[in-house]
Amino acid sequence: MVPLSVLDLSPITAGSTAAEALRRTADLARHVERLGFRRFWLAEHHGIPSVASAATSVVMAHVAGATSSIRVGAGGIMLPNHAPLVIAEQFGTLESLFPGRIDLGLGRAPGADPLTARALRRTADVDPEAFPEEVQELLSYFRPATPGQAVVAIPGAGLAVPVWILGSSLFGAQTAAALGLPYAFASHFAPTHLHEALTLYRRHFRPSPYAAAPRVMAAVNVFVAEREDDARLLFSSLQQAFVALRRGAPGPLPAPREGFAASLAPPERALLDRMLAASVVGTPEQAARGLEGFARETGADEIIVASQIYDHQARLRSFELIAHAAGFAS
């Protein structure tokens, strides 16, 4: 089995608060660190009632301070929402506080609806095509400062913070390949272009000081319980959340609901199945087969696991069973 990592959105469950969600995130990070997962990444989303990780770099500091060895990263920072210098300073600070443990994944989507994105950026004049240039500007702030350099990231300059490009389309693959950066694909919610993007990335990759060869991480939803029916019930929370988001009525992560998917009209069920095609749901044995199959299918160097589970104890147990299934926890 390839190495496994964790993608967390600090889920705010129905009836709970963001404060409780953030405490659960730190607890989960300590748990998966003990189990042997490689990384713990957090995602930037805004205006979504089920996500408490909007201030991603702040939550990363919370998680890194609660753990001791697991790598902590952004999966990712939506760079068009921020000035590259600000992100260089934030991640330079994180790297200074937690040396050798910080990752920076970058995406070009807003992670928000259009009105929220405009409120974040204070302007509607954002060119998504400028993303490669913004990434290069950010990378420049991590290089050692030169004499007479007008703008310097302090902290940041001279710090080797690993940078990844995130994507759910071909644009991110092209950017990662051209800049010679590792690439992470968001197949856990947008699997349509997974194989095409990975092929493009590997074919056009240019070796760089950041990576000598292509390096791929792919995301998959994983829900594991001792019984398959119980795992499928856990999965229903994510299914409900996706349907609510598509209907324009997002809310906190809902409690599991028996028979939810079967209750949907056929077009909505088909859409849900397409969006969540990269999902492994079942017993530990089924999870092992599913993860091994996904690794073979993608050729990924690493898999990052997303598990939006309503009950915290069930979530902890799911990751424990995943680690046993993957063979890296005793």
| pLDDT tens, position by position, 82-121 | 999 999 999 999 999 999 999 999 999 877 788 888 888 7
Tens of pLDDT, residue by residue over 191-236, are 999 999 999 999 999 999 999 999 999 999 999 999 999 999 999 9
- Does some domain include residue 228? no
254: burial class by Cβ within 10 Å (0-12, 13-18, 19+)? buried
Mean pLDDT of 294-302: 97
* Average confidence score pLDDT of the chain: 95
Q: Which domain holds residue 193?
A: 4-219+287-326
- Does some domain include residue 274? no
**What's the pLDDT score for residue 328?**
85
CATH of the domain at 107: 3.20.20.30
By percentage, how much of the chain surpasses pLDDT 90?
91
Query: Of 59, 64, 63, 98, whose CA–CA distance to 77 is shortest?
Result: 59
**What's the pLDDT score for residue 124?**
62
What number of CA atoms fall less than 13 Å from residue 228's CA on the CB side? 5
- Whether pTM > 0.75 for this model: the answer is yes
Q: Report d(CA 298, CA 310) in Å as an integer.
A: 29
Query: Of 62, 20, 60, 65, whose CA–CA distance to 40 is shortest?
Result: 60
Tens of pLDDT, residue by residue over 47-84, are 999 999 999 999 999 999 999 999 999 999 999 999 99
- Does some domain include residue 71? yes
Q: Is the pLDDT assigned to residue 290 strictly greater than 80?
A: yes
Mean pLDDT of 146-162: 96
- Does some domain include residue 199? yes
Mean pLDDT of 289-295: 97
Cis peptide before 155 (omega within 30 of 0): yes
- Does some domain include residue 294? yes
**What's the pLDDT score for residue 62?**
98
Number of domains in the chain: 1
**What's the pLDDT score for residue 122?**
66
**What's the pLDDT score for residue 116?**
83
Confidence of residue 125 (pLDDT cuts 50, 70, 90): low
Confidence of residue 330 (pLDDT cuts 50, 70, 90): low
By percentage, how much of the chain surpasses pLDDT 70?
98
- Does some domain include residue 176? yes
**What's the pLDDT score for residue 268?**
95
- Does some domain include residue 207? yes
Structure tokens at 72: 């902590």
- Does some domain include residue 278? no
Q: Report d(CA 244, CA 27) in Å as an integer.
A: 28
